[in-house]
A and B are shown apart, each in its own frame.
Chain A
Amino acid sequence: MYAVESNGFTKHYSGGKIKALSDFCIKIEKGTVFSLLGPNGAGKTTLIKLMLSIAIPTSGEGFILGKKTTDRSSRMSVGYLSENHRFPGFLNAEQVLWYYGKMSGVLSTDLKKRIPVLLKKFNLEEKRKLKTVKYSKGMLQRLGTAQALINDPEVIFLDEPTDGIDPVGRIEIREILLELKERGKTIFINSHLLSEVERISDEIAILKEGRMIKKGRTSDFLESTGEYNIRVEDSKQEIFFNILNSLNIKFAPHKHSASVKINDITELNSVIDSLRDEDILIKGVEEIKGSLEDFFIKIIR
């Protein structure tokens, strides 16, 4: 049984004119942190909406913890943070958590215990009596995320959870997510913050215009680029470049170094040998790893 399974989910809007999502298939194991990436309008929110029956699929089916999404009990152990959520403004943080907890079927005794813990975790303790109309965007986002955890769900869908949250808050949310992952929860994230995603995800899929164009483990997206950055003493920069040219090696010259395109370790060592033969002091050699951002830009363009 998978935590989340999508079997060809397809969603067209406006009588087929807008193909928001096309034949999306995915299987996510329990305990995985899964991130869905893609430019604006790629269909990320649409997928979550189909999984939670907020939108009705044109075709295809989905399962959460083995239950079909059309069955409302599939949402029993689910937490969800909507991308532009709003709460009734006349409620304060405590009341919001209470109200949404009740709707998720949480018992009052559990709520009494859980609400203070969540408020503390999300740094909302001081503001717990403040009406949510008076909240800042980041505070609302924290409350929204706290709300998604109120029923201690097994599967958590977060649509851009760190949107509008300051850097310190983002680190805190990351820690909360990692803690949830440790407890075996499955987390599904839509995000634009690639550096965040890179840090916490186990698996990543990239959507473009409603189609999945790549899916894999996070490490697959951070593959080595086959480039090394070599730094030598400044006075020998010219000779260094000449040597690279004579060895017929492609490189990009920088002010104090060069990014060298190398096929294997042997080639790297022969470059180093040549440099040492000329008595050039090497200040550093670093492997250049592609970031998720590089990968994303490359594949989307």
Chain B
Amino acid sequence: MGKVATREAYGAALAQYGADTNIIVLDADLSKSTKTDTFRKVFPERHFNMGIAEANMMSVAAGLATTGKVVFASTFAMFASERACEQIRNSICYPKLNVKIGATHAGLTVGEDGASHQCVEDLAVMRALPNMVVLSPCDEVETNLAIKAAIDHDGPVYIRLGRLAVEAVHDAETFKFELGKGVQIKEGNDLTIVATGLMVQESLKAAELLAAKGINARVIDMHTIKPIDKDILAKASKETGFIVTVEEHNVTGGLGGAVCEAICDTAPCKVLRIGVEEKYGKSGTPAALLEKYGLTAQAICDKITAAYKGE
């Protein structure tokens, strides 16, 4: 199977589920990039371009939602989660309105556009909002089901999506998506890697490299950052005693933060947080950037090996 970006899967899912006339899609002059144009081609009467005005778009989405609509508002993760953060907080989350934020171009793998467009803080920011659900799917199949779950959920949802085409992790025939439930995709008892987004693919490869060194890592795909799956984490903590989080996001406040908070309450263990280390991004190819910021399978394997041996 070929590689597919989660933003592509998002646009396709909107078109797939968009026959429901209650669904409205807003964009901010990025519909070709966010892929909401895939929806527009099928349902032009329910796609509205709000122009380069993200703050207004989020509040307009809220107003639409007060009338019973399910509203998707899309732009890059950078401009959704930070330019329009207060609108998401006060117009959407505070009144718990049914707005879904389709935030594409998250993380470093935006690539050549560089740091101004590479959002590595959105999980932290969006996760801090009461009433918000935060999803971060890793592949096409998971994205499709995440969009379905977002539609079925009554309330605000932030969906973190990527620009880069990625390999499939899940099988469309058998994969079950449950909002708030992490998915164990590889068994192992020496340690647990909890990954999200396209770091799931890298983590699976890292687990293979670790296996060659005799380290047997469990791998969990954490597609829901909030509410985080406390049970799967407590189990991993108790059974493996060492958790490694891997995310294409700053090491502060994202998946790593969420995991630490969760096990703090249930079963504390040693945690290694792998991610962007308090830095902004850079221009470059996605592959070069993952290399530079230490987010390739090899770099992940090396960091884990050092920490594991140091135990």
Chain A bound to chain B:
no
